[in-house]
């Protein structure tokens, strides 16, 4: 079955004034959503990302601190799932908790190469 990557941008990690209780409740929604995908045999991998990092750019490979972008555009995690089509993968993304705090999900086909 084809694989698709959900690329999460923004959402709760970018909301600085969430209380620990609110964040915990939100994370429970994420675990439940991902758990349902796993139970259905669709979840194949993925992890949340920390806000820190380095960016390397250009021919001179200039290194700068952080993945600086507007918070709504900052990649906060990814998930790889199996679905029969891009349309089905998009439908599966519709229940993602990232939308609760204004985030987004980019759904991309994973290219499979036989080596």
pLDDT 10s digits, 67-90: 666 666 678 889 999 999 999 999
Candidates 3.30.1490.20, 3.30.70.1060, 3.30.70.20, 3.40.30.10; CATH matching 3-109: 3.30.70.1060
Q: What's the average model confidence in pLDDT over 62-66? A: 80
pLDDT 10s digits, 41-62: 998 888 777 777 887 888 888 8
Quote the DSSP letter at residue 12. G
Return d(Cα 55, Cα 49) in angstroms, integer.
14
Per DSSP, helices labelled H in the chain are: 20-39, 86-93
Q: What's the average model confidence in pLDDT over 87-96? A: 95
Burial (CB < 10 A; 0-12, 13-18, 19+), residue 21, is: exposed
pLDDT at 81: 94
Residue of 22 and 113 predicted with greater confidence: 22
The two tokens of residue 32 are 């439940």
The two tokens of residue 10 are 């923004």
Whether residue 15 is predicted with pLDDT greater than 80 in this model: the reply is no
């Amino acid at each position: 079955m084809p694989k698709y990557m959900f690329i999460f941008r923004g959402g709760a990690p970018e909301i600085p004034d969430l209380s620990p209780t609110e964040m915990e409740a939100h994370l429970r929604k994420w675990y439940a959503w991902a758990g349902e995908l796993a139970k259905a045999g669709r979840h194949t991998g993925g992890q949340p990302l920390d806000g820190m990092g380095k960016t390397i750019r250009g021919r001179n490979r200039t290194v700068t601190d952080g993945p600086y972008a507007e918070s709504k555009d900052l990649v906060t995690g990814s998930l790889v799932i199996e679905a029969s089509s891009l349309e089905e993968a998009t439908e599966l993304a519709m229940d993602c908790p990232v939308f609760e705090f204004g985030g987004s999900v980019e759904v991309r086909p994973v290219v499979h190469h036989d080596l």
